[in-house]
Amino acid sequence: MTIETLSEQKCFGGIQGVYRHQSSSTGTDMEFAVFQPAEAAKKPLPVLVFLSGLTCTWENFTTKAGAQRYAAEHGVIVVAPDTSPRGEGVADDQAYDLGKGAGFYLNATEDPWAKHYRMEDYVVKELPAVLANNFPVDLDRMGITGHSMGGHGALTLAIKNPDLFKTLSAFAPIVSPANCPWGQKAFNNYLGDNIATWGQNDASALVETFGWSGDILIDQGASDTFLETELLPDVFVRACERKSVALTLRMQEGYDHSYYFIASFIEDHIAWHAKRLKA
């Protein structure tokens, strides 16, 4: 559980840090970012995990979303892991939507991906243990959110692990990867042609099976160019309706898929999680 501090800066009275450790899940070094509000020096605080999307790392969210101001106001530690394993010897692809930066937060079963692409184990099992051993976190009050591919990860990992993640939201998530080009490409490569394993990593299929005991918040840009081909929010809406899951889907007029969109609504999400985690 030893971590290396890569950087730490004072930010809104707290500390924004970037750290690295050797991961037993992926067999690689993994980097992650943590923002600790000032009050974390006095007591353990609730945690919000943010999963980034395709091509991203922890850096996109940490530097572009403006989350630190609101995390400081609401007394929430914000954690941003990487999107995939990286390093020499890690399988990759020239396409942006497969390989490094495109881990899809699942455990790959197919070669050459299975050796390192164990992002589900990393986020669900290893990262919480690393946090508990090195930061003043209250893991009994942990929520998760994410963007695009990271929104897919937030939904699937929370639905499968409700004892770990108590609150759930997403920005423009891929809600039915088994039925869109991004997801089908990733699933075919990482999981093979066994369609049964696809459903275990598809948010719409999972909510139909397990439901969700709390409520869910999703923000989606109405001018998102990926809306009709990759994101398919209506599929998740119908699945939640069939299971009587309390979903709030906010279609935000004029907004696209970018971090300008995330920065516009990250305050709402942090406040939403904080209210529920502190209840």
Digit-coded pLDDT (tens) for 203-234: 999 999 999 999 999 999 999 999 999 999 99
Mean pLDDT by 10-residue block, N- to C-terminus, for the chain (279 residues)? Answer: 95 98 98 98 98 98 98 98 97 98 98 98 98 98 98 98 98 98 98 93 98 98 98 98 98 98 98 97
116 is catalytic: no
DSSP letter at 102?
Answer: B
Among 23, 25, 148, 204, the active-site one is 148
The verdict on domain 3-277 having CATH code 3.40.50.1820 is: yes
244 is catalytic: no
Task: Residue 47: name the closest of 155, 144, 158, 161 by CA.
Answer: 144
CB 216 within 8 A of CB 201: no
Element at 151 (helix H, strand E): helix 149-160
Helix orientation angle between 67-74 and 259-277, rounded to the nearest 10 degrees: 10
- Determine the pLDDT at residue 1: 74
Among 176, 219, 224, 269, the active-site one is 224
193 is catalytic: no
Among 116, 147, 152, 257, the active-site one is 257
Q: Is residue 125 classed as helix, strand or coil in its secondary structure?
A: helix
CB 153 within 8 A of CB 119: yes
- Tell me the C-alpha distance between 244 and 26, whole Å: 36
CB 185 within 8 A of CB 98: yes
Q: Is residue 101 classed as helix, strand or coil in its secondary structure?
A: coil
CB 256 within 8 A of CB 225: yes
Cα 277 from chain centroid (whole Å): 17
- Determine the pLDDT at residue 15: 98
The Cβ-side half-sphere exposure at 2, using a 13 Å CA radius, reads 0
**Sequence ranges of the domains in the chain:** 3-277
